[in-house]
Structure 1
Amino acid sequence: MHHVIVDYSANLKDFEPKLLLLKINTALVETGYCEALDIKSRAHMDDVFVIGLGAEQQAYVHVKVYLLSGRDQQQKQEIGENVLKILLSYSALQQQDFPVQSCVELIEMPKLDYFKHVIKPQF
C-alpha cells in the first residue's frame, strides 16, 4: 500500500526514471517496513518548470513516498534517509552540468481511509 511518485525536471540528461524507481523500491524493501508487491511507483517528467526566479539553470528530482499510518518517527526517518541516499548516489544525477535539487517527502495515509482490492484473472 505504498506509493512512490517521482517528479523530475525535463532538463536532466541521460536520466532513466525506471531505473531510479527500481532502486527506490529496493531501498524501501530493504528497510523491512515494505513488501515488494505493495509498492506502486511511477515517474512524471515536468516539461514546464521554474526553479527560483529562473535566472540560474538547475534541475530537480522530488520523490513523494506515501506510507500507510502506523510507523513511528524513527521508521519514517529511516525510510526518508534511505530514499535520499538513493538519489544522492544515483550516477545520472551526479553527472549533470548544473545543480540538481534532490528532495524526499514522506506523506502518511490514514489506514482507515485507504481501500484496496486486487482483481485476479478469472481464467
Structure 2
Amino acid sequence: MPHIIIEHSASLDTDFSQLLKSIHQSTIDTNLFDASTIKTRRVAFPQCILGDGKTDFVHVQVHLLAGRTQTQKQHLSESLLNTLRTLLSDSVSLSVHPYDLDPAIYRKN
C-alpha cells in the first residue's frame, strides 16, 4: 500500500514513462511506505474542461490505509506536487490528494 493513481488529460504532451517512474520514486523517497507495496498507474481522460483556463491537467490520487498523521500526508502531498512541478510546465494544472482507506472494509488478495 499505497495505490498511486495518476489521472491526466490525454492531450498532455510529456514522457509518461518518466512521469510514472518519478512519482513512484518520490513516493518511495518519503520513507512512509515499504517500497515493495507501492503500486503506481495512470489513467488518461480524453476530454476535460478546466476552470483555470489551462488545457491540460495531472491529478495524483494516493489511496492509503488510514493511520498516517496529517503531517505525514502533507509531506507526501508536497513531495509529489514538487515532483510534478519539476516535470511539467506551468501551463498544466497540477493537484495531489491522499485518501484514507478504511482497513475494516478494504480487501485485496
Compute the TM-score of the two structures, normalised by the length of structure 1: 0.80
What is the DSSP-based 3-state SS (H/G/I as helix, E as strand, rest coil) of the residue aligned with 2:39?
strand
Structure 1 residues 10 and 74, CA gap change in structure 2 (3 angstroms): same
Structure 1 consecutive aligned stretches of length 4 or more whose deviation exceeds 3 Å: none
1:62 aligned onto 2:54: no
What is the DSSP-based 3-state SS (H/G/I as helix, E as strand, rest coil) of the residue aligned with 1:84?
helix
User: Mapping of 1:1-123 within 5 angstroms?
Assistant: 1-13=1-13, 15-52=14-51, 56=53, 58-90=55-87, 93-94=88-89, 99-117=91-109
Question: 1:75, CA displacement in angstroms?
Answer: 0.5
What is the DSSP-based 3-state SS (H/G/I as helix, E as strand, rest coil) of the residue aligned with 2:63?
strand
Take 1:52 and 1:73, find their aligned partners in 2: how far apart are those partners?
28
Take 1:57 and 1:83, find their aligned partners in 2: how far apart are those partners?
20
Question: 1:17, CA displacement in angstroms?
Answer: 2.1
Compute the TM-score of the two structures, normalised by the length of structure 2: 0.89
Q: Percent identity?
A: 32
Q: CA RMSD in A?
A: 1.7
What is the DSSP-based 3-state SS (H/G/I as helix, E as strand, rest coil) of the residue aligned with 1:104?
strand
Take 1:33 and 1:17, find their aligned partners in 2: how far apart are those partners?
24
Take 1:31 and 1:57, find their aligned partners in 2: how far apart are those partners?
29
Could you list the per-position Cα deviations for residues 37-91 of structure 1 after superposition, in whole angstroms to 9, with x for gaps in the alignment?
A: 21111111111111239xx55211011011111111110110010000100011x
Gaps of 5+ in 2: none
| Cα pair 2:54 2:93 within 8 Å, conserved | no
Take 1:112 and 1:27, find their aligned partners in 2: how far apart are those partners?
28
Please identify the structure whose Cα radius of gyration is greater: 1
Count residues with an aligned counterpart. 109
Gaps of 5+ in 1: 118-123
Take 2:58 and 2:79, find their aligned partners in 1: how far apart are those partners?
15
